[in-house]
């Protein structure tokens, strides 16, 4: 039986053991921005690496049910589509928490050279049995408040496309589309709703998201903890706002009218704090509040607060990114087909 996030996504994040501390993965062309695998997708692969490592090499630790509770990653160089080697170093093996150092390395496409480190960082792991202690609520709340604390009311029809192009007439949410989805392939796997354009802000964004992986093994899906990692790095309307502020849409060089954005926003660091593990059957909707505090000298800071339909925080993320020409993404590389 396919997992709630579909077999398509499961295949895309599969990690295969080579030895006790060495693993391999294949970064899929379906989950890219331009020619580069998406940062959140790469994080999802590394999230799966942590789980695979403990189940493979330390099967009795963390009651046989390891769960990452924090990830701190540095993206050193562009990754590429294809095989990646994943190396794990056990930094600390503890009773309640364990921490591993992970490295994703690759060579350049079509070049016979020694692989270089592309992504490095630390992942801290615990388990539901060991996660005990004080729990206390606070008076914290989202400010400014979102248009609604409920996801859109979808008019379900036989057609998936029409079901997601219409909402209840009283809904404060509208379907959002990325004008550069031909470049940002990863965006095709999500159905996103946000406030109407006239109510959007450039520095504060709200979105409700459903998961819908595209491909022969994809289809309607539910968010799992594995796929939730991906969503911490998905906020197309925020990027589109920056694109529009800097330059108009560009027509791609393929002669078919596909649009290429003026900028690429590569991730430099991405830290994720997991507050709750999603249920085994997954969640249909997840809400994200995205905050962009400043863009300074081509460097961004982005904070993401992710909640379930019950208003519970499930993950917090903080990211440092760059604003560079889109040509930096594609230089010397072949773009995945727009039909992927």
Task: Write down the pLDDT at residue 76.
Answer: 98
Q: What is the pLDDT of residues 68-83, one digit of tens each?
A: 999 999 999 999 999 9
CA triple 105-323-321, angle to 5 deg: 55
Residue 171 has pLDDT above 90, yes or no: no
Contact between 2 and 217 under an 8 Å Cβ cutoff? The reply is yes
Q: What is the pLDDT of residues 193-216, one digit of tens each?
A: 999 988 888 789 999 999 999 999
What is the average per-residue pLDDT within 119-148? 93
* CATH superfamily entry for domain 6-128+151-330: Acyl-CoA thioesterase, double hotdog domain (2.40.160.210)
Residue 162 has pLDDT above 60, yes or no: no
Domain extents for the chain? 6-128+151-330
Q: Which residue has the higher pLDDT, 169 or 83?
A: 83
Q: Which two tokens stand for residue 327?
A: 């040509």
Q: What is the pLDDT of residues 244-266, one digit of tens each?
A: 766 654 444 443 434 678 899 99
Task: Write down the pLDDT at residue 231.
Answer: 97
Residue 113 has pLDDT above 80, yes or no: no
């Amino acid at each position: 039986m396919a997992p709630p996030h579909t077999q398509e996504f499961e295949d895309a994040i599969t990690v295969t053991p080579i030895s006790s501390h060495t693993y391999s993965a294949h970064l899929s062309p379906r989950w890219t921005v331009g020619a580069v695998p998406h940062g959140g997708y790469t994080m999802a692969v590394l999230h799966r690496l942590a789980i695979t490592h403990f189940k493979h090499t330390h099967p009795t630790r963390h009651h046989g049910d390891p769960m990452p509770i924090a990830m701190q990653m540095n993206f050193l160089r562009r990754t590429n589509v294809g095989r990646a080697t994943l190396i794990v170093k056990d930094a600390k093996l503890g009773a309640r928490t364990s921490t591993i150092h992970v490295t994703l390395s690759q060579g350049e496409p079509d070049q016979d050279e020694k692989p270089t480190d592309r992504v490095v960082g630390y992942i801290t792991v615990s388990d539901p049995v060991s996660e005990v202690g004080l729990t206390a609520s606070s008076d914290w709340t989202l400010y400014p408040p979102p248009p609604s604390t409920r996801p859109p009311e979808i008019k379900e029809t036989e057609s998936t496309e029409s079901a997601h192009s219409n909402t209840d007439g009283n809904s404060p949410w509208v379907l959002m589309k990325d004008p550069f989805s031909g470049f940002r392939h990863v965006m095709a796997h999500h159905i996103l709703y946000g406030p109407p354009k006239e109510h959007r802000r450039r520095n504060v964004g709200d979105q409700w998201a459903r998961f819908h992986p595209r491909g022969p093994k994809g289809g309607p899906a539910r968010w799992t903890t594995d796929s939730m990692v991906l969503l911490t790095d998905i906020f197309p309307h925020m990027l589109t706002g920056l694109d529009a502020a800097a330059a108009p849409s560009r027509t791609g060089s393929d002669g078919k009218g596909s649009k290429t954005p003026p900028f690429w926003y590569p991730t430099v660091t991405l830290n994720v704090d997991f507050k709750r593990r999603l249920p085994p059957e997954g969640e249909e909707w997840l809400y994200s509040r995205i905050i962009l505090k400043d863009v300074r000298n081509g460097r961004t800071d982005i904070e993401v607060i992710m909640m379930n339909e019950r208003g519970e925080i499930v993950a917090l993320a903080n990211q440092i990114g760059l604003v560079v020409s889109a040509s930096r993404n594609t230089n010397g590389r072949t773009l995945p087909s727009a039909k992927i």
